Amino acid sequence: MKDAQPATIYLKDYQPFTHLVDSVHLTFRLAPSATRVLSRIAFRPDPKAPARPFHLDGEGLTLISARIDGKEVSPEITPTGLICEVPDAPFLWEAEVEIDPASNTALEGLYRSNGMYCTQCEAEGFRKITYYPDRPDVMSVFTVRIEGEEPVMLSNGNPGDSGEGWAEWHDPWPKPAYLFALVAGDLLAHPDSFTTRSGRDVALNIWVRPGDEDKCAFGMEALKRSMTWDEEVYGREYDLDIFNIVAVDDFNMGAMENKGLNIFNSSCVLASPETSTDANFERIEAIIAHEYFHNWTGNRITCRDWFQLCLKEGLTVFRDAQFTSDMRSAPVKRIEDVIALRARQFREDNGPLAHPVRPHSFVEINNFYTATVYEKGAELIGMLKTLVGDAAYDKALDLYFTRHDGDAATIEDWLRVFEDVTGRDLTQFKRWYEDAGTPRLHVSDDFNTGTYTINFKQETPPTPGQDSKPPRVIPIALGLLDQSGTEIHETTILEMTEAEQSFTFEGLSARPVPSILRGFSAPVIVTREATNAERAFLLAHDTDTFNKWESGRALARDGLVAMIRDGAAPDDLYLDAIATMARDDTLDPAFRALALGLPSQEDLAQTLFEGGHTPDPLAIWEALETLRHARAEAMQDTTTRLYAKYQVTGPYAPDAAQSGARALANAALDMITRLDGGRQAQAQYDSADNMTQQLAALGNLIRGGRGDHAISAFYDQWHHDRLVIDKWFSLQILNADPSETADVAETLTRHPDFTLKNPNRFRATLGALSMSPAGFHRADGAGYRLLADWLMQLDPLNPQTTARMCTAFETWKRFDGDRQAMIRTELERILALPGLSRDTTEMVTRILGA
Ligand code: B3K
Ligand code: ZN
């Protein structure tokens, strides 16, 4: 419920908890609407903490009884917990509380999903289970007893004794409460095992609802690959006898790294060729790796407070990206990550929700699990590695693991290991953690009698609460090519530390072509007056795969901007250059598929706004359609050949090679459909034996206005599979004509399979609406109204997902006055909802900039 004035928490106010916790014993007596939780906690005053009243966090709990050292006490119950007089010495706290998992629709704390019990405690959900110092710097050893009728009852750590109606678990590794987990229900295991390199046998299980057991094999293989990779690359071994993963249908995010008991949104672990796309497989592999890697970066070394969230998340995203690069293609992964970074993080960093990678304050911490903390946080690790070099990075990480194992650490601790290993002063680098906003890097160059000079100027626009920002250290990876396309200066890292800085290269016989920010070596926006000819040249010749892609992307983007702004025709140079690239069979098909992708509507809106123009969402969509059509005509012969050549024969495998081939063939199918009225797409739909092919064909049919039959056939085929039906919901919205997007979404909200209670289904419907810019921003405001109506219905049930989905409105100030006024009306309508959650109140207030 909305507090009168929700409290703002500040990093600068950090104080340790008053007590240390020596041990925690929990007993759960499970009952859907009246679960009893008995806690027995050994507290000891922390001599280093300032004296303050003893306060335990607690929310929505019914206290049945409390005792200190066996004697009944009557603590003062507050809206956020309890305060109690305690001895000035070690003592044993015992409490019994009652909670109601069945009515917990917020999916935080202990809740029910499809008849099973499960938990989500990060960030502050444990306080909804029992009274406790629910903060990451309070770590303890947990022993858990579960009593209930469920056939399977799991918690963290290693299994202890069990009997009819009860099971015990003991986790020997001290952990904060946010890593606590409990699962109980009618579950089946997909079992396996792993032997660590020091010879420890680990039992592995993926637990699922009966019926899903045939969708676990891929996840299990991904888990074993992750375990091996972390041993080989980071020297990190698993540290318990068992590692359990559970698939849950109702979950607010992707997955959760609870110690020894990872809980996954079923969409992020269940996979089969018939029901999952290649992209799903790649994502599942990455998320399994991510959660597993948290065992060291997050669990063994955790965060002192929630401001340090990027310490575990940025590093773990960086590690999972390294893993995917090793398992698949490094350049392809980098391109995919930069596309996502620009779409989500740049958007955030350049709007009202901009915040530093390590925020200075928050009202609701769940609102800070953002692209900035995660993805920009990972970029900072990548920059650090580039600056210190691979060998020093490895040494620093070894030191981090030995020095801080068992700690609740800070960004200062993290940077110090790098300083100690390299002797570098990282004070300036730390600005990346402290200052929000995406730096603009303006580039110019000169060539004069054999000397090439490249000049950089950096500036970061103001962000909420931060008006001016001193220069940061920016690693700029630069290579030089000669006019024939030969690399004459291989990649060097230029370290920019000043607001303006120049670098020179001598002894050149002619003006070189620079390849700037190779591999996207820093999360900045480069502005440079490059000619289209230079871009086409780099698309053809750059040896850096990322910049090769980037040049094609920039060429497409500039052409599209000219079409939107000046009514220009599609750029012939782009059409020629991209066709040449696509025809080159020496290039990785996955790369070619990415290079054939066009800048997103969001990307173009950002670019137009950045250039001082008000983006018109429909004009953007129309320009993209025009260009796609022109390209389909210009590349007719090539697309037919590519489509035929890259059909995969033989058994389906979700590996990089096959998925790259399918991606290229499906990029060709998109072009073919624009000219053949959907004949090929229908043939592909009819013969598809995997979801990648089936879904690509269906998308094409819908876009071509010929999807009606396939839409109902698809539903009939898959109505029993909730994850596939999520795709069915979103695909219809994402591929609708913009004039109809909001109506399609509205109709789907009336479908019997639509529900507010399942975040996946809600996102598949209303999230898809907000991810269809031209449809969402329809001039009459229907998209805005529909989303706001549904967010207002969701908020009382699930504040976390509601607040997150409010980000659909974060770009509102880019648009024309009419759209701004309509969005403001919707945001104010949401804000006026009686009892609006703290989560949504904070988000909407920040978006409005009030
Ligand atoms: N650590 C969790 C995210 C928890 C989100 C809480 N709102 C998953 C992850 O990043 O691995
Ligand atoms: Zn994570």
Kindly state the percentage of the chain with pLDDT values over 90.
99
Same domain, 397 and 489: no
Query: Could you tell me whether strands 182-185 and 152-155 are parallel, antiparallel, or unpaired per DSSP bridges?
Result: antiparallel
Residues 42, 177 share a domain: yes
Whether the CB-CB separation of 80 and 59 falls below 8 Å is answered with yes
Question: Ligand 1 in contact with 286 (CB < 6 A)?
Answer: no
CB 270 within 8 A of CB 211: no
Q: What pLDDT, on a 0 to 100 scale, did the predictor assign at position 2?
A: 42
Q: Are residues 154 and 119 in the same domain?
A: yes
The residue written with tokens 């695909």 in the block is: 731
Give dist(CA 668, CA 184) in Å, integer: 47
Same domain, 377 and 453: no
Helix (H) or strand (E) holding 601: helix 601-610
Q: Is the pLDDT of residue 244 over 60?
A: yes
Among residues 468, 495, 522, the one where a domain terminates is 522
Last residue of a domain, which of 158, 186, 214?
186
Tokens of 599: 């800048």
Q: Is the pLDDT of residue 70 over 60?
A: yes
3-state SS assignment for residue 164: coil
Asked whether residue 481 is domain-assigned, the answer is yes
Ligand 1 pocket test target in 108, 265, 313 with most atoms within 8 Å of CB? 313
Report pLDDT digits (tens) over 788-798: 999 999 999 99
- Statement to judge: residues 419 and 464 lie in one domain: no
Q: What are the catalytic residues?
A: 291
Output the CA 353–ligand 1 centroid distance in Å: 19
Mean pLDDT within 7-26: 98
Is 545 among the domain residues?
A: no
Average pLDDT, the chain: 98
Residues 405 and 467 in one domain: no
Report yes or no on 514 lying in a domain: yes
Is 108 a member of any domain?
yes
Amino acid at 296: W
> Do the domain assignments include residue 20?
yes
CA of residue 841 relative to chain centroid, distance:
23
Query: Given ligand 1 and candidates 108, 299, 303, 369, which is best to mutate, with the most ligand atoms within 8 Å of its CB?
Result: 369
Same domain, residue pair 182 and 83: yes
- Among the listed residues 683, 671, 679, the one whose alpha carbon sits nearest the alpha carbon of residue 641: 671
Widest CA span in the chain: 89
Kindly indicate the confidence band of residue 196, based on its pLDDT and cuts at 50, 70 and 90. very high
Q: Tell me, what CATH number does 65's domain have?
A: 2.60.40.1730
**Distance of alpha carbon 796 from alpha carbon 105, whole angstroms:** 9
Do the domain assignments include residue 62? yes
Work out the average pLDDT over 795-820: 98
Strands 525-528 and 440-448: parallel
The pair of structure tokens assigned to 705 is 């206005």
Residue with tokens 């995997």: 690
Report the alpha-carbon distance of residue 218 to residue 206 in Å, rounded: 11
Q: Is 246 in the pocket of ligand 1 (CB under 6 A)?
A: no
Give the residue-averaged pLDDT of 516-528.
Answer: 97
Rounded Cα gap, residues 800 and 806, in angstroms:
10
Name 681's Cβ contacts closer than 8 Å, sequence gap at least 6: 669, 672, 673, 697, 700, 701, 704, 706
Q: Is 122 in the pocket of ligand 1 (CB under 6 A)?
A: yes
Q: How many structural domains are present in the chain?
A: 3
Q: Are residues 467 and 420 in the same domain?
A: no
Tell me: pLDDT of 552 over 80: yes
Q: Are residues 404 and 511 in the same domain?
A: no
User: What HEC string does 699-763 produce?
Assistant: HHHHHCCCCHHHHHHHHHHHCCCHHHHHHHHHHHHHCCCCCCHHHHHHHHHCCCCCCCCCHHHHH
Q: Which of 504, 522, 540 is the last residue of a domain?
A: 522
Q: So what's the pLDDT on residue 529? A: 86
The confidence band for 6, taking pLDDT boundaries of 50, 70 and 90, is confident
The helix (run of H) or strand (run of E) holding residue 392 is helix 390-404
CATH code of the domain in which 476 resides: 2.60.40.1840
Mean pLDDT, residues 551-568 = 98
426/461 same-domain check: no
Asked if residue 571 belongs to a domain, the reply is no
The DSSP letter of residue 132 is B
Mean pLDDT, to the nearest integer, of 85-110?
98
* Residue pair 413/383 in contact by the 8 Å Cβ criterion: no
The whole-number pLDDT of residue 850 equals: 57
Residue 241 predicted with pLDDT over 90: yes
Is the pLDDT at 352 greater than 60, yes or no?
yes
647 C-beta neighbours (distance < 10 Å), count = 12
Same domain (yes/no): 177, 32? yes
CA-closest residue to ligand 1 atom 7: 366
Which residue is listed with tokens 């420890």?
Answer: 200
Domain that residue 430 falls in: 302-434
Could you give the CA distance from residue 285 to residue 267 in angstroms, rounded to a whole number? 12
Whether residue 223 is contained in a domain is answered as no
Q: Would you call 11 helix, strand, or coil by DSSP?
A: helix
Give tens-digit pLDDT for 679-721.
999 999 999 999 999 999 999 999 999 999 999 999 999 999 9
Distance CA 631, CA 671 (A): 7
| CATH code: domain of residue 306 | 1.10.390.10
- Say if pTM beats, i.e. exceeds, 0.85: yes
Summarize the confidence of residues 444-456 as an average pLDDT.
Answer: 97
The band of 1, judged by pLDDT with boundaries at 50, 70 and 90, is: very low
User: Which residue's C-alpha comes closest to atom 5 of ligand 1?
Assistant: 122
Tokens of 523: 């999360």
Same domain for 121 and 103: yes
Q: Determine whether the shortest distance from the Cβ of 137 to ligand 1 is under 6 A.
A: no
User: Residue 256 has which token pair?
Assistant: 């959760």
CA Rg value for the chain: 27
Cβ-contact 456, 441 below 8 angstroms: yes
Contact 382, 334 (CB under 8 A): no
Residue 3's pLDDT band, with cuts at 50, 70 and 90, is very low
Tokens of 524: 């900045």
Q: Rounded distance, CA 301 to CA 309, Å?
A: 12
Q: How far is the CA of 255 from the centre of ligand 1 (A)?
A: 7
What count of other Cβ atoms lies within 10 Å of the Cβ of residue 500?
Answer: 12
